[in-house]
């Protein structure tokens, strides 16, 4: 059945229905108003509660992020300090091991120099005892010819003695100079030894400065200062992006590696069988690459370059060295297998090309290219080198995993903050909406409300008149 | 828990063999050797060579001739299921090519043309192959000319089989009245589709890749 405003009866009944509905709404006004406001308040409180819970969660997450960041920073600082101490230990062992020998050499040099110095000391010539007698004779008046002759004789004797003394003195000086000259190499050796010792000590002092710096960082991290946190956070983010970039490069390397061995792998495991829509040959190639990466991880772990597996880090040194050799052996074996597969790939490609050429009826293409060995050698080389290159994936992977915790924490914190804000906004919006709905409700029933207002005004006027009377 | 794991592994492995079958292709090529159509055999060889370049490990391929009585295994010139190993598959392709070349060189024209018998033989062969896609290539003018006594007005069962008529040459009578050519192809289309199969015609040998689409 359909109705239209064109038919007066239907229009009237519709008007009546609207009037009745408005009346019903008017009578239910107080309850509806209370219900709308209550619903609005309920939603408001619930959303505010949810927002508060989200804020609390965000705060807890921030605390956890802070702890994670500090723990990572502490660990990194500890590792750096440990490395520095190891370096100092190595330096002390290596560079100061010959210290006793050097000390002996220094002592010998000093003793030799002392001895030479002692021997080269100049002894002042003793004043001759007859100088006073000569003086007395010289005081005798020279008029006497005998005295003059005696004096001349004495003068001659003195000159002779002087020459002898001078010669003796020169000889002694020469000997002393020779002794001093002999001490020159000792001086040089002494200087050289002291210089080398000084350099070694400087290097050790540099290490000590580095340790001091790391210790300062460590103390700051332990204090949990804001500057340390900021530094760690920035470092973590940069590490995340850098490691991601390096990992992307490694993935490229792995894809090249995969393409090198996937095709010949079909010769070993068949080219048609599939698991989950993937060829078994492809899966086998992928597994080989993943095993290589795992071996690389174990090797890096055993070398204590990375610390992803505490079990390996906790192994005693003998076992660790064994593990290094075992993983290296497996890596070399897998690299050799890959080189073989790369060679096989080239043979297969040539075979396929020859077959295709034969099927197309081309005889010229059947001749082997002249420079085929270059591509074959390059493929084999890549097949051998790439597994070892992939070993180093462990380093960016460790950085990525460590920094990922921080980055995820920061992201989760930001999301929680956003959710809390949205919940608060939604809560306010719903409360506002409930209030608006109350007004809308009043708009719908404006006519009864207006009448009510008039009636109330009239009653108020009557009461006032009665009061006045 | 371990039982669930073993069961999952079994399911995956079972699924793997099915997956392998469904991704492979079975191709059966019928070559008309009746009358003057033997002059077209070079083109047939060209199609076979192209098909061989496109076939992969696990695919099945057979070439058979259409003559007076085609519903027999004796008409199969060469058949192969390509080995899992690519190198072995290449060797099979070469051997197949040589067998086809010998057939083209030595074949003689037959008096009658039993296309239906050939199609029945092709379907029988393809049904036995563990392949996902089954295609019958008919290298013929599609004019059936049965010898006396041969019954071939039987419904074809071609569910899941695609029939492609290749190099359908026009006969002299077709030139006089092209409706004959069209009605001949229409009849085959209806027969194939009535049997649950698909029917296509490829006359341009420069676009043979359409066979594998």
pLDDT on residue B139: 93
Q: How many CB atoms lie within 10 A of CB A193?
A: 16
Percent of chain A scoring above 90 in pLDDT: 35
pLDDT band at B95 (very low <50, low <70, confident <90, very high): very high
Would you say residue B10 has pLDDT above 90?
Answer: no
* CB contact at 8 A, A51 and A425: no
Q: Is A362 on the interface with B (CB under 8 A)?
A: no
pLDDT on residue A287: 93
- Residue A241 CA to residue A235 CA, distance in Å, equals 10
* B36 vs B96, higher pLDDT: B96
* B202 vs A136, higher pLDDT: B202
* A169 vs B11, higher pLDDT: A169
Following DSSP, what letter does each residue of A7-67 receive, concatenated? SHHHHHHHHHHHHHHHHHHHHTHHHHHHHHHHHHHHHHHHHHHHHHHHHHHHHHHHHHHHH
Would you say residue B5 has pLDDT above 90?
Answer: no
Q: Is A442 on the interface with B (CB under 8 A)?
A: no
For the sheet with B25-32, list strands across it: B76-81, B60-66, B25-32, B133-139, B161-166, B198-202
Q: Is B42 on the interface with A (CB under 8 A)?
A: no
**Closest residue by Cα to residue B70 from B114, B120, B17:** B114
pLDDT band at A406 (very low <50, low <70, confident <90, very high): confident
B24-212 belongs to CATH 3.40.50.1470: no
pLDDT on residue B29: 95
pLDDT on residue B16: 43
* Relative orientation angle of helices A226-269 and A280-302, to the nearest 10 degrees: 140
The predicted model gives A179-191 an average pLDDT of 80
The predicted model gives B35-58 an average pLDDT of 87
Q: Is B8 on the interface with A (CB under 8 A)?
A: no
Q: Is B81 on the interface with A (CB under 8 A)?
A: no
Would you say residue A3 has pLDDT above 60?
Answer: no
Looking at CA atoms only, how far is residue A278 from chain B in angstroms? 9
Domain ranges of chain B: 24-212
DSSP symbol at A279 = E
DSSP symbol at A274 = E
Interface of B with A in 93-152 (CB under 8 A): 93-94, 97
* A156 vs A382, higher pLDDT: A382
pLDDT band at B2 (very low <50, low <70, confident <90, very high): very low
pLDDT tens for B150-189 read 888 888 889 999 999 998 988 888 888 889 999 999 999 9
pLDDT on residue A236: 83
Would you say residue A294 has pLDDT above 90?
Answer: yes
- Residue B151 CA to residue A101 CA, distance in Å, equals 113
CA distances, A39 to each of A94, A424, A439 (Å): 80, 16, 15
| Residue B154 φ then ψ, to 5° | -115, 145
CB contact under 8 Å between A276 and B15, yes or no, is yes
CA distances, B83 to each of A66, A126, A172 (Å): 61, 118, 106
- Residue B46 CA to residue B36 CA, distance in Å, equals 18
């Amino acid at each position: 059945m359909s109705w239209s405003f064109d038919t007066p009866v239907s229009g009237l009944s519709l008007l009546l229905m609207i009037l009745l509905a408005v009346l019903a709404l008017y009578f239910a006004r107080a309850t509806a108003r209370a219900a709308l406001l209550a619903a609005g308040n309920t939603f408001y409180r619930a959303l505010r509660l949810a927002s508060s819970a989200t804020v609390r969660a965000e705060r807890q997450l921030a605390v956890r992020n802070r702890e994670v960041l500090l723990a990572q920073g502490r660990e990194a600082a500890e590792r750096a300090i440990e490395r520095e101490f190891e370096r100092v230990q190595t330096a002390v062992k290596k560079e100061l091991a010959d210290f006793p020998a050097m000390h002996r050499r220094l002592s010998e040099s000093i003793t030799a120099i002392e001895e030479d110095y002692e021997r080269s000391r100049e002894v002042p010539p003793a004043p001759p005892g007859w100088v006073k007698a000569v003086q007395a004779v010289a005081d005798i008046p020279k008029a006497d010819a005998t005295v003059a002759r005696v004096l001349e004789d004495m003068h001659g004797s003195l000159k002779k003695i002087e020459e002898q003394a001078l010669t003796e003195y020169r000889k002694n000086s020469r000997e002393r100079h020779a002794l001093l000259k002999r001490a020159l190499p000792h001086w040089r050796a002494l200087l050289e030894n002291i210089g080398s010792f000084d350099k070694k000590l400087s290097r050790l002092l540099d290490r000590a400065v580095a340790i001091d710096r790391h210790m300062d960082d460590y103390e700051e991290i332990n204090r949990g200062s804001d500057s340390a946190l900021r530094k760690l956070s920035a470092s973590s983010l940069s590490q995340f992006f850098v490691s991601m970039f390096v990992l992307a490069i490694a993935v490229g390397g792995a894809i090249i590696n995969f393409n090198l061995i996937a095709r010949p792998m079909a010769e070993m495991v068949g080219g048609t069988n599939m698991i989950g829509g993937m060829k078994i040959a492809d899966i086998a190639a992928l597994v080989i690459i993943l095993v290589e990466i795992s071996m690389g991880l174990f090797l890096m772990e055993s070398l204590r370059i990375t610390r992803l597996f505490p079990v390996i880090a906790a192994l005693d040194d003998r076992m660790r060295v064994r593990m290094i050799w075992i993983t290296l052996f497996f890596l070399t074996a897998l690299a050799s297998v890959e080189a073989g597969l790369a060679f096989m790939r080239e043979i297969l490609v040539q075979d396929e090309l020859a077959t295709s050429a034969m099927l197309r009826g081309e005889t010229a293409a059947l001749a082997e290219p002249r420079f085929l060995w270059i591509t074959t050698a390059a493929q084999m080389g890549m097949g051998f080198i790439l597994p070892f290159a992939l070993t180093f994936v462990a380093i960016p992977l460790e950085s990525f995993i460590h920094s990922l915790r921080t980055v995820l924490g920061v992201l989760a914190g930001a999301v929680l903050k956003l959710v809390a804000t949205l919940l608060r906004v939604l809560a306010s919006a719903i409360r506002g909406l409930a209030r608006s709905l109350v007004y809308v409700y009043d708009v719908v029933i404006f006519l009864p409300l207006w009448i009510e207002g008039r009636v109330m005004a009239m009653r108020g006027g009557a009461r006032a008149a009665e009061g006045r009377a | 828990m371990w039982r669930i794991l073993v069961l999952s592994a079994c399911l995956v492995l079972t699924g793997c063999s099915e997956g392998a079958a469904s991704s492979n292709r079975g191709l059966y090529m019928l070559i008309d050797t009746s009358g003057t159509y033997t002059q077209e055999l070079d083109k047939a060889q060209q199609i076979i060579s192209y098909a061989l370049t496109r076939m992969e490990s696990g695919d099945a391929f057979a070439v058979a001739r259409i003559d007076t009585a085609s519903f027999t295994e004796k008409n199969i010139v060469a058949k192969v299921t390509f080995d899992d190993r690519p190198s072995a598959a290449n060797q099979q392709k070469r051997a197949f090519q040589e067998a086809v070349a010998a057939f083209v060189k030595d074949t003689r024209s037959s008096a009658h043309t039993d296309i239906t018998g050939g199609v029945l033989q092709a379907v029988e062969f393809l049904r036995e192959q563990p392949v996902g896609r089954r295609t019958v290539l008919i290298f013929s003018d599609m004019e059936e000319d049965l010898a006396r006594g041969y019954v071939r007005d039987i419904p074809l069962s071609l569910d899941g089989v695609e029939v492609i008529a290749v190099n359908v040459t026009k006969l002299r009578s077709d030139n006089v009245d092209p409706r004959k050519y069209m009605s001949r192809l229409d009849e085959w289309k209806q027969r194939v589709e009535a049997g649950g199969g698909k029917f296509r015609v490829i006359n341009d040998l420069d676009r043979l890749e359409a066979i594998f689409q």
